[in-house]
């Protein structure tokens, strides 16, 4: 982790966050602090509440208790209108990429630009090309999502996510459903964008290899609580039994 990230300001914080869905207590008092410029990984098994944590960070879910702070603003009770600048500054890349099937790659990436800016088409076109180049997808503008591989769809989702130049990028299970080679390409892309754009990256995953490849710091979520938070090296050497069992069960040496 860079010295800047280690000493950086906290850009997103969850304080004692709880979330229930009926009788199911998904989050049971989660505390997290993510610093400017770092890649922070939330690791945990399926159903542990990782994606629920992520959705709280841009107000897609509201906590039943606790507080969520983004860019120094408590967003816990903000209206949808007041959440707009938060969501512009913190872009979420969904697990499925969430592309519009009826729109071309170009129109998918251009969509947030048209929603938030009144730019001339030439400027939109230049920005779309810049974003596609950043994820290594030059020349696919006219294709539909159905014509792309799973890895390419994920990269288009990332291109759309960086179009508005966010300060923070949130990735929800970015390597799920991908073969190992394509998954590694996505891992390298996450690190590359973090370095080139200076963004803060938050990666939710159950993929142990991905977590240790992209992360500066790792938090382990189990049964709705953070059981460990620290650097990659601390996670490797740590003796927290639940994390150790998870890593050993996933084959990480």
pLDDT of residue 7: 54
Contact call for residues 1 and 38 (beta carbons, < 8 A): yes
pLDDT of residue 214: 94
The ranges assigned to domains in the chain are 3-249
Residue 57 has what DSSP assignment?
Answer: T
Q: Which residues of the chain have pLDDT under 70?
A: 1-7, 250-253
Class of domain 3-249: alpha beta
Coil vs helix vs strand at 95: coil
pLDDT of residue 203: 96
pLDDT of residue 67: 96
pLDDT of residue 250: 62
pLDDT, tens digit, for every residue of 152-199? 999 999 999 999 999 999 999 998 888 899 899 999 999 999 988 899
The C-alpha atoms of residue 171 and residue 94 are separated, in whole angstroms, by 6
The dihedrals phi and psi of 230, each to the nearest 5 degrees, come to 180, -175
Closest CA to 168 of 88, 109, 231, 98: 88
The C-alpha atoms of residue 233 and residue 63 are separated, in whole angstroms, by 31
């Amino acid at each position: 982790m860079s010295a800047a990230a280690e000493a950086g300001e906290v850009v997103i914080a969850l304080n004692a966050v709880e979330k229930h869905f009926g009788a199911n207590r998904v989050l049971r008092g989660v505390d997290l602090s993510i610093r400017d410029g770092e890649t922070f990984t939330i690791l945990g098994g399926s159903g542990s509440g990782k994606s629920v944590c992520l959705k709280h960070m841009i107000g897609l879910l509201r906590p039943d208790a606790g507080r969520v702070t983004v860019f120094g603003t408590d967003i816990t009770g903000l209206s949808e209108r007041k959440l707009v600048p938060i969501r512009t500054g913190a872009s979420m890349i969904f697990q499925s990429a969430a592309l519009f099937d009826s729109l071309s790659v170009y129109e998918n990436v251009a969509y947030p630009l048209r929603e938030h800016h009144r730019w001339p088409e030439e400027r939109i076109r230049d920005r779309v090309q810049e974003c596609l180049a950043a994820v290594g997808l030059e020349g696919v503008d006219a294709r539909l999502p159905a014509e792309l591989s799973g890895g390419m769809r994920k990269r288009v989702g990332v291109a759309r996510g960086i179009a508005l130049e966010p300060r923070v990028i949130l990735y929800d299970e970015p390597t799920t459903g991908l073969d190992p080679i394509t998954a590694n390409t996505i891992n390298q892309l996450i690190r590359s964008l973090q370095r080139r754009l200076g963004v803060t990256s938050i990666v939710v995953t159950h993929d142990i290899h991905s977590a240790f490849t992209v992360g500066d710091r790792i938090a382990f979520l189990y049964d709705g609580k953070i059981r460990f938070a620290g650097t990659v090296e601390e996670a490797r050497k740590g003796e927290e039994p639940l994390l150790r069992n998870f890593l050993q069960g996933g084959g990480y040496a």
